[in-house]
Structure 1
Amino acid sequence: MRWLFFAFLLLAGLAQADGRQPRIAVIDWGLTETLLGLGVTPIAVAQTEGYRRWVQAPELPAEVIDLGLRIEPNLELLSEIKPDMILITPQFAASRAQLERVAPVHMLAIYTPEAEAYVGAQRVTRELAELLGRQAEGEAMIARIDTQMARVKQRLATRDLPPFYVMTFLDQRHVRLFGKQSIYQGVLDRTGLRNAWTGPTNYWGFSQQGIERLAEQPSAALLYLEPMPPGTEDGLAGSALWQQLPAVREQRLYGLPPVWSFNGLMAAERFAYLLEARLAPESEQ
């Protein structure tokens, strides 16, 4: 709608003219972390406790208002807090018409069929930075993270590392394996690491598989992201199939703190940092 387009231009102009940042409500966690990376704190975010559990960094300030479920945000609360704009991704497009009754809605897509997630995350960072009059901060953020990728690649280049299955557990028998199109693949490519999963992936860059698939590359290591679903750790301890996997038997198993699988550049930066800390700890230098 034309009025929305002009509203965005007006908001961006206000931010540049008097230094006031728009009051922003966000439905998606990837856009939330990108905003925080640009130095902008949203006034409200959907499922704040979920963000703190699954995303963790950048830290979400305590004063940010919880809007309820991402798929069904609290419209009454949104109307009360009167945001200047609402940010969503195509995943939550079904709510757009309702949200537009409250404030102008801007939809940005990190994940698209046309580009890998890392490139999409860079594009969304620039789009948000331009919208908010923070282009310098956006370019600095992109450059900093690219520099970190190159530094981690240099550190890991001296180590003889196997290919990695990158995964999250669904239960004791099933995992999501991340590959092409995932934000993790973008980090692996830029840090010189190899992905053991070369099979097909969906729109989000993962494929749901049984744990028996983890034996297909016997020399690979397993890299899993926490948290595990309840009961999974105990179930794996009693699973003969899991215990006989080459990577488990030979102790090539690496657990990492949470990194949200569907986020942008800040998640990529966190993943690279965690890889470096786990695979090339300072104590081994």
Structure 2
Amino acid sequence: MSLFQNPISRRNFGLLLGAAGAALVARPAFADDAARTIEHRLGSTEIKGRPQRVVALEFSFVQSLDAIGVVPVGITDDNQPKRIEQLLGKKIDYSSVGTRLEPNLELVSALTPDLIIADEIRHSAIYAQLSAIAPTIVLNSWEGSYQTIKEGVVTIADALGDKAKGEKAVADHEAVVAALVAKIPAGEKRRFLLAVATPDSMSLHTSSSFTGSVFKAMGLTPAVDSSDAVESGAGLERLIAVNPDVLLVATDAGGTVLDQWKSNSAFANISAVKDSNIFEVDRNQFSRFRGLKTAEMIAREILAKVYKA
């Protein structure tokens, strides 16, 4: 007897073949339950499938996720949700899991995440606890350079099962920055400094900081060249010694040491002050946030403030 003697069987067999072919075409690069190993700052983590419920414990990770179209279920927003809106330029739905310095592990666990992204400096001490909740990868955000942050985007995308999407996000971002950098006049030799001013002192962001390394990527020269990202506790004497040509001062609301120093005649001799190249910038955008969108914002802000472009 022929296998296809019954016409209904023949039709059903054809449908089965078509469905099988469609399944082969639609099949992802790896099976949804396939395990892969993601290397990170504290070792390696095995991740299965494509995580859907991500908790981000640093601002830069939120921007990285946004760059690849992912909204985290939980964020350490420092209990200030408006920061997340400023970080992304839009509102998103998420649950706060405390502060970046002290994430609330009970809140993290309650969200039943299938991936946690943590910072090396802030969260190494609780890595084991985080890993007991969900697979956790640890990246360098707090002291991360521009290059480190870009690499982190790709690592996060890889952890989510789509490394190519992360690579494309970085490539698209680099094209945006290149177009902005092209507007900077040729032959720029001045030395740029970002300083975070508080009521008591200044912190100088060096060539190794996120903002300092963005300066370098733009072809600008950071005023402080150091392997340490931030030089904390700088006084007026140190600022005078650095003598930046362009000074960007990041502040929160309220008075800072800069208000006191302005009455000191020595302050007036700093090149940036003499040439009226001192600019106030937002502390969140220039210091707290780190990400692809932030780098683009820094480039645009420098063009607008320094070059009037």
Normalised TM-score (structure 1):
0.78
The sequence identity of aligned pairs, in percent, is 23
CA RMSD of aligned residues (A): 3.1
Counterpart amino acid of residue 40 in structure 1: V
Counterpart amino acid of residue 231 in structure 1: G
2:23 paired residue number: none
Counterpart amino acid of residue 253 in structure 1: I
Between the aligned partners of 2:199 and 2:97, the Cα distance in structure 1 is 29
Between the aligned partners of 1:219 and 1:77, the Cα distance in structure 2 is 45
CA offset at residue 127 of structure 1? 0.7
* Deviation digits for residues 181-218 of structure 1 (CA, Å, limit 9, x no counterpart): 212222222212122223x352xx11122122232355
2:61 counterpart SS class: helix
1:227 aligned to which of 252, 276, 295: 252
| Mapping 1:64-79, distance limit 5 Å | 64-79=94-109
1:216 paired residue number: 241
Residues 28 and 182 of structure 1: CA distance in aligned 2, closer, same or farther (over 3 Å): same
Q: Does 1:263 align with 2:282?
A: no
Which one has a bigger Cα radius of gyration?
Answer: 2
Counterpart amino acid of residue 171 in structure 2: A
Does the Cα contact within 8 Å between 1:27 and 1:88 map onto a contact in 2?
Answer: yes
Residues 28 and 219 of structure 1: CA distance in aligned 2, closer, same or farther (over 3 Å): closer
Between the aligned partners of 2:286 and 2:83, the Cα distance in structure 1 is 10
The count of corresponding residues between Structure 1 and Structure 2 is 264
Between the aligned partners of 2:300 and 2:125, the Cα distance in structure 1 is 35
Between the aligned partners of 1:247 and 1:34, the Cα distance in structure 2 is 34
2:134 paired residue number: 103
Q: Does 1:281 align with 2:305?
A: no
Between the aligned partners of 2:208 and 2:85, the Cα distance in structure 1 is 19
1:278 counterpart SS class: helix
2:13 paired residue number: none
Between the aligned partners of 1:55 and 1:122, the Cα distance in structure 2 is 21
Residues 268 and 178 of structure 1: CA distance in aligned 2, closer, same or farther (over 3 Å): same
Counterpart amino acid of residue 184 in structure 1: T
CA offset at residue 42 of structure 1? 0.6
CA offset at residue 249 of structure 1? 4.0
Q: Does 1:152 align with 2:183?
A: no
Normalised TM-score (structure 2):
0.73
Does the Cα contact within 8 Å between 2:247 and 2:278 map onto a contact in 1?
Answer: yes
2:231 counterpart SS class: strand
Q: Does 1:135 align with 2:166?
A: no
Residues 101 and 34 of structure 1: CA distance in aligned 2, closer, same or farther (over 3 Å): same
CA offset at residue 240 of structure 1? 5.0
Counterpart amino acid of residue 133 in structure 2: V
1:9 paired residue number: 47
1:73 counterpart SS class: coil
Between the aligned partners of 1:217 and 1:260, the Cα distance in structure 2 is 19
Residues 4 and 61 of structure 1: CA distance in aligned 2, closer, same or farther (over 3 Å): farther
| Mapping 1:1-285, distance limit 5 Å | 5=37, 8-10=46-48, 13=49, 15=50, 22-50=52-80, 52-53=82-83, 56-59=86-89, 61-91=91-121, 92-110=123-141, 117-158=145-186, 162-171=190-199, 174-198=201-225, 200-202=226-228, 205-208=229-232, 209-216=234-241, 218=243, 220-227=245-252, 230-232=254-256, 234-243=259-268, 245-257=270-282, 258-261=285-288, 263-282=290-309
CA offset at residue 109 of structure 1? 2.6
2:204 counterpart SS class: strand
Q: Which has the higher strand share?
A: 2
Higher relative contact order (CA 8 A, sep 6+): 1
Counterpart amino acid of residue 90 in structure 1: E
Gapped regions of structure 2 (runs ≥ 5): 1-34, 39-44
Counterpart amino acid of residue 206 in structure 1: V
Does the Cα contact within 8 Å between 1:54 and 1:260 map onto a contact in 2?
Answer: no
Counterpart amino acid of residue 52 in structure 2: P
* Deviation digits for residues 161-198 of structure 1 (CA, Å, limit 9, x no counterpart): 622122111335x2111223212222222212122223
Counterpart amino acid of residue 197 in structure 1: V
* Deviation digits for residues 40-61 of structure 1 (CA, Å, limit 9, x no counterpart): 1111111354574499322463
